Copies of this chain bind each other. A is one copy, B any other.
Amino acid sequence: MSNMAKIFDAAEVAKHNSPNDCWVVLYGDVWDVSEFLPSHPGGSKIILKLAGRDATEEYDPIHPPGTLEENLKPSAKLGELDPSTVSKPSPDAAQKEQKEGPPNMQSLLNLDEIEEVATKQVSQKCWAYYYSAADDLFSKSFNNLVYRQVLLRPRVFVDCTKCDTSTTLLGHEVGIPLYVSPAAMARLAHPAGERGIAQGISQFGALQVVSNNASMTPEQIVEGSLPGQIFGWQLYVQKDRSKSEAMLARINKMSDKYKFIVLTLDAPVPGKREHDERNQNVGASLPVSSGVKTADEPKRPGGGGVGQQLFFGTAADLTWKSTLQWLAKHTTLPIVLKGLQTHEDAYLAAQYAPQVKAIILSNHGGRALDTAPPAVHTLLEIRKYCPEVFSRIEVWVDGGIKRGTDVVKALCLGAKAVGVGRAALFGLGAGGVEGVERTFEILKAETETCMRLLGAEKVSDLSLKHINTRAVERDIYDGHAGLEKLGLWVKANL
């Protein structure tokens, strides 16, 4: 802005480390963030930890370009940091940091191995954010285990020379019924970020739902994607509706790429993700200026994780009619409702067709409410109580997918598409674009092998006849039929 930026040295910046006088360095510039502190989505504490220091390394991978400019006044930029005044970390420390690179992606045989590699490649903070789930991680692991409870029923003497995984989703042709679930902040895992995911999946014809909290702009992510490559955009409605409306307007303009809006409903308030929170506490033990006083923030038990920061500003007051009507005013893109977990809500959603074109059965990867049901339960509930839903809207699912057999089982149960969230991020973390590619290569190959061995040539051939879900059926909600009162039983037994 100014012709001659003022130059600060590091010692000077370091003095401004209190709530009322808080400076940070970002990309070489010195910013006064004192005024901004109380409105930071992640709370003031997380900035104060970095007060008086260069915060670029922590800031960059979780904020898309433009964030600074959107949130700070030009006058808050005070000048530039003199890099020569910054003390360097000792070479020993630097060397310690150097990690061994990842192995050849082709040597990884399944998604667990890819996660294992990613766990070693990404930062502890990144791992904690991706790995974490609510409370005791029961739903996270049950999401996957429930697929093991479903047995396959292979048919013999069926010609399986050909195998075609293509299908249509929301009327668009796709190469495989897979989509990338909206997962925030891909640049935490790898500089290629969300665009890297788009590149990695491009050859497979899978969909990608871009997170409301992506670490790149929606424009950056679709840049360079293949013709016909399809994206959806995830909407967390903001308390300040005008912010959401502005974003919708931006997305509407890219309707050649963004073909639908995913409205997320399963996390109106953040779940309790202790791995994520704990990791931020670890951060607290970093050398911070001892003079820092904590602002008088309301206590938040388990409050400092990356996940909680992202929820800041999200509206908790959505309702069927009002929200969908408001949405209709701001976009003509089809709506996909994400996070349904009961047949009752699936039934209700179907009443809102055709505005609502699909629902995603999801418990947010087990990250919202622990012991929430896996999508397989909800699929079976719908089958039992309101199967007409399947003919009125598309039903997608995510959560717990690790194998091609999982994909096929979901399809047999009636799902039109199957999402992977952590798997895409771990693929990215393990090997960037190539890691994402390998993840989808494995899933596609496993899906094809499974279809062939079942005796199914096309996705539409898959049906309930190909699976035995009896072990799951006995666990799904049945309106407490088992508690039906038994007449005069009790008095007879006293």
Contacts and interface: CB of A to CB of B under 8 A. Distances in A.
Given A151-B377, A470-B476, A485 B384 contact: yes
Interface in A457-494: 464-465, 468-471, 473-480, 482-486, 489-490, 493-494
A475 B484 contact: no
A343 B151 contact: no
A302 B109 contact: yes
Interface centre among A342, A476, A484 (most CB of B within 10 A): A342
A176 to B, nearest CB: 14
Interface string A93-107: 000000000000011
A109 B320 CA distance: 34
A173 interface: no
B371 A271 contact: no
A69 to B, nearest CB: 30
B468 A477 contact: yes
Contacts of A344: 155, 490, 493-494
A369 B159 contact: no
A464 B477 CA distance: 11
Given A155-B345, A485-B385, A369 B453 contact: yes
A453 B269 contact: yes
A275 B405 CA distance: 18
Number of copies of this protein chain within its complex: 4
Interface stretch (A2-10, A220-228, A443-451): A443-451
A316 B373 contact: no
B316 A161 contact: yes
Interface string A253-296: 00000000000011111111010011001000000000000000
Nearest to A324: B157
A405 B274 contact: no
B301 A452 contact: no
Contacts of A480: 383, 464, 469-470, 473
Interface string A309-333: 0000000111110010000000000
Given A152-B371, A480-B464, A274 B110 contact: yes
Nearest to A275: B109
Interface in A198-224: none
Contact of A299 (B106, B281, B387): B106
B156 A383 contact: no
A442 B302 CA distance: 8
A160 interface: yes
Interface string A369-401: 111110001001001111100000000000000
A153 interface: yes
A385 B489 contact: yes
B154 A369 contact: yes
A246 interface: no
A254 to B, nearest CB: 27
A29 interface: no
Contacts of A486: 384-385, 479
A477 B342 CA distance: 25
Nearest to A452: B269
A347 interface: yes
Given A109-B278, A319-B159, A371 B465 contact: no
A77 interface: no
Given A266-B154, A384-B486, A371 B405 contact: yes
Nearest to A269: B452
Given A153-B341, A479-B493, 12 more contacts: A106-B299, A109-B277, A110-B274, A136-B148, A156-B339, A156-B345, A157-B323, A372-B453, A384-B483, A385-B486, A470-B476, A473-B480
Q: Which 7 A-B pairs rank lowest in CB-CB distance, beginning with the nearest?
A: A473-B482, A156-B265, A468-B477, A301-B445, A369-B453, A159-B317, A385-B490
